[in-house]
Amino acid sequence: MKVRIVNKSQFELPQYATAQAAGLDLKVNTDAPITLKPLERCFVPTGLFIELPDGYEAQVRPRSGLAAKMGITVLNSPGTIDPDYRGEIKVILVNLSNEEVVLNPGERVAQLIIAKFERIEWEGVSELSESDRGAGGFGSTGTK
């Protein structure tokens, strides 16, 4: 599948890190480093604009290495980019560590996943069918 992209960043197009990677790396597109204090959040520009086909979304997800090593994650994970959005892709990052973190221009800060989605129509009913699980949730199927 081909996706139309306008690259106004100073970097090459997002790449898959390995042959079987699901996510494309998104990079910081700024002229100067971004410093995130503990619990601070910010919009990180990527300089990328995309046009997705109908029935597809782009999901912005955290990079596991940044989360594990530095406490940086995508705040609204996964962030959804709808197929009719034409603005710049920006990543909402938050610093959950106790230390200031510096993000340099060109640093990989998130992943972009392209996923198919279905649209639904609601069918109003007065009750739902029975299931083995019923209304059990939040750990009701066990904690193992």
Report the run of H or E that residue 64 belongs to, with start and end.
helix 64-70
pTM, to two decimals:
0.88
94 token code pair: 């938050």
Answer yes or no: are the C-beta atoms of 67 and 20 closer than 8 Å. no
Strand-strand pairing, 90-95 and 72-74: antiparallel
Mean pLDDT value across residues 105-128? 97
> Which band of pLDDT confidence, cut at 50, 70 and 90, is reported for residue 142?
low
Mean pLDDT value across residues 4-14? 97
The proportion of the chain whose per-residue pLDDT surpasses 90, expressed as a percent, equals 90
Mean pLDDT value across residues 85-91? 98
47 token code pair: 């300089």
d(CA 87, CA 105): 20
> Which band of pLDDT confidence, cut at 50, 70 and 90, is reported for residue 132?
confident
Which residue ranges form the domains of the chain, and what is each CATH number? Answer: 4-116 (2.70.40.10)
CA geometry: angle 66, 97, 34, nearest 5 deg: 65
